[in-house]
A and B are shown apart, each in its own frame.
Chain A
Amino acid sequence: QVQLQESGPGLVKSSQTLSLTCSVSGGSVNSGTYYWTWIRQPAGKEVEWIGRVYTTGSTGSTHYNPSLKSRLSISLDTSKNQFSLKLSSMTAADTAVYFCARGIRYGSSEFFDIWGQGISVTVSS
C-alpha cells in the first residue's frame, strides 16, 4: 500500500525559501507510470496545483504552475524515494496546507489517487 508523508517547517519567515519533502513508502518514485505532485490550499480558498516531477528514462522532468514558476523548484531523489519542493521569496499569500500526491496521467495532466495528509505552512513577517 503506497503512502505519502510530507515533512518540513510549519513556519517560514517572509522572503525566505520553503523546503518540503514528500517521503514515499510502499512504492517507487522511479516508476515512470506516475507523476509526483505538489498541491496546496490556503484557508478558505481554492485548491491549487503547484507542479509535478516524473521520471523519463534516467532523468526527471518537471512542469510548474505558471503563477509560481519563477520561484519554484521540484526535484526527485530516487535514492531516498522522496521528492521535494522549494518555493522562494515566500509571502503571506503562500500560507497554506501543502499536500504531496501521486498522479495518474489522464488527458493532458493527472488526477491524484494517493495523497499525503498535508502540512500546514504559515509565513510570518
Chain B
Amino acid sequence: DILITQSPSSLSASVGDRVTITCRASQRISNYLHWYQGKPGKAPKLLIYGASSLQSGVPSRFSGSGSGTDFTLTISSLQPEDFATYYCQHTYNIAPTFGQGTQLEIK
C-alpha cells in the first residue's frame, strides 16, 4: 500500500502570509495527487487535481507542485476564509488514500 505522509499536522499563520503544506508518498505516484480544503459542517472543496491543475473557481493564490514522491500546496497570501484543514489524496491505486490533514489556524 502507498503511504502518504502530510506535514505539518498543524500550522499557525497570519493573514497575508505565504504557506506551504507538503505530502510525501512512499513510492512514486506520478502526478496522481490532489488537494482539498475542509471546514466543519461543510462539503470539502477540491482545490488542485493532478498535482498542479487549479480546479475551476478556486482562487489563484492556491497552487500545487510536485511529481513522483514529493508534492506541495502553496497559498501565496492567506485570506481569512483560508483557515481550514487541508488534505492531500493520491489516486495511484484502485483504492485511493488521503494524507493525515493539516489544520491551518490563525496566529
Contacts and interface: CB of A to CB of B under 8 A. Distances in A.
Nearest to A100: B43
B46 A112 contact: yes
B97 A115 contact: no
Contacts of A48: 98
Nearest to A66: B95
Contacts, number: 69
Interface of B: 29-30, 32, 34, 36, 41-46, 49-50, 55, 87, 89-101
Interface residues of A, number: 24
Contacts of B94: 63, 108-109
B96 A110 contact: yes
A106 B95 contact: no
A46 B100 contact: yes
A107 B60 CA distance: 25
A93 B91 CA distance: 25
Residue among B43, B45, B101 having the largest count of chain A Cβ atoms under 10 Å? B43
A107 B91 contact: yes
